[in-house]
Amino acid sequence: MSPINNITASANGTATPAADSNSASGHTAFKVDSPYVRYADGAIESDYMYDTTIVARSAETGVLSAKPTKVHYQFKTKTNVGRVGLMLVGWGGNNGSTVTASILANKKSISWETRKGTQEPNYFGSVMMASTVKLGVDENLRDVYVPFNEIVPMAHPNDVVIGGWDINSMNIGDAMRRAQVLPVDLQRRVYDELKELKPLPSVYYPDFIAANQEERADNILGGSKQEQLDHLRKDIREFKQVNQLDRVIVMWTANTERYADILTGINDTADSLLQAIASGHAEISPSTLFAVASILEGAPFVNGSPQNTLVPGVIELAERERAFVGGDDFKSGQTKIKSVLAEFLVNAGIKPLAITSYNHLGNNDGRNLSAPAQFRSKEISKSSVVDDMVGSNGILYKKGEHPDHTIVIKYVPSVGDSKRALDEYVSEIFMGGLNTISIYNTCEDSLLASPLIIDLFMVTELMTRVAYRVKSDADAVEAEWQPFHSVLSILSYMLKAPVVPPNTPVVNALAKQRMAMENIMRAFVGLPPNNEMLLEHKAFH
């Protein structure tokens, strides 16, 4: 690949990166030496025995019977990543402008001066770009690690083509300055190129976001909801065509909306949803309209805010069109810590009685969340994060029992993007004793959320190139390859309120989410799941 020279803007305001000599898309750093793995015809194919345990309870005795079970999967992963685009809804917001500027800085190796000296760009905070996974052990039984993004061929953020929509017409350079997230010297170095990028008109329904956002809404689509849907579909098609893309991923990074009511005959099925859009029903939200447009254009859609964008009709439509969706709500700071700490306490046999979370922040997201309906959406996404841990332990929690869980968010303009999060965990310990853990967390909100956008983009793009089938010796004809389920639960690590396929349990525990993501990718290349048994060290030689 040639070195980076520039970033250009196309006619519709999209940022088109040049190829980067440091990007690693389309290859892995190792090959698997196994008769069950094949590298051919631009794909990696693997045979994988999935071990699970099926548990049944005797109706007569109540005794549990655990039966180890194997399922033979075959996976095929295309290795040619191609040219990929990312369209952000809310491109001119804090997250959209920050991630665009940061990718440009990484792509062009733009450093900047701080009071501590020269700072080089990086992708810290991205689990795909800045963390490693254990590949195995060497001949001396020492662990060998590789970057997470090298397990399977993945798109590199330096190669992404970025575009999007916003209800505000401000160019991305000025939007970056307005956000006041990145250091001033870095803003100065990337501004000239970002000011040429302008968001496409977006969808604005005042009933769904806070009234205090109305003054920003000067770049909006007119017409009926059906006409707006058709326009969004056209935007996606033109973005793909103009930039000569192989695929496009759409991501909601805009303001939190209020929850939409689930109404029979309106948004409960795919057909009723499409009909409700055609008739202009008031309960169709902007984010749901973007989701439908993406699905109908075959572009994966990820919801990065807490509202219930993916109503039942959206899920059914995605399944019918075999399109991918994921959500909800970027899991950046406080909730990520909560999922770790709650898992630790419950797994240690300690019983959390009360979890109280207080936040104050001063960015536009905080301003929008000062409205009760929008705060309620955020409260719901944050409150369910401990449910699976509580449900896993019938010793600590009797049926119907749950910790008190209180969440407060306040808008304090002076703190800007530097959010303050205060948490108190009160737990019952041995013999009725109490333990209290208090955490004070200052986190630059958009600098935590922007790497999640990158991770969600990379993993979602990967899943568009993966197919599987279940193999059985009893089958006379091999099954056809098929994509994973339309709801991408593999994205759960990056999302506060993971949306999962129907009749699938929600997992919020962070370690389980990361382990699932890592081991699924290992399965794509025919490697067994990682575990920490360390029998090679503990068993007799």
Active-site positions read 329, 378, 419, 496
| Token digits of residue 327 | 């959500």
Give the closest residue to 437 by CA, choosing from 343, 379, 356, 334.
356
CA 459/CA 516 separation, integer angstroms: 13
Instruction: Using DSSP, state whether 52 is helix, strand or coil.
Output: strand
CA 510/CA 120 separation, integer angstroms: 29
Sort 323 into a burial class: Cβ within 10 Å, 0-12 / 13-18 / 19+: buried
CA 291/CA 300 separation, integer angstroms: 9
CA distances from 229 to 232, 283, 421, 486 (A): 5, 15, 38, 21
Sort 524 into a burial class: Cβ within 10 Å, 0-12 / 13-18 / 19+: buried
CA distances from 372 to 223, 258, 376, 410, 496 (A): 29, 9, 6, 11, 20
| Token digits of residue 450 | 């922007």
Would strands 247-252 and 301-303 be described as parallel, antiparallel, or unpaired? parallel
CA 94/CA 87 separation, integer angstroms: 15
Amino acid identity of residue 146, one-letter, is V
Judge whether 327 and 395 are in contact, CB under 8 Å: no
DSSP string, 481-527: PBPPPSB-GGGGGGBSS----TT------HHHHHHHHHHHHHHHTTP
Instruction: Using DSSP, state whether 408 is helix, strand or coil.
Output: strand
List, in sequence order, every residue forming a beta bridge with 162; answer none if it has no partner.
15, 86
Judge whether 17 and 107 are in contact, CB under 8 Å: yes
Judge whether 284 and 313 are in contact, CB under 8 Å: no
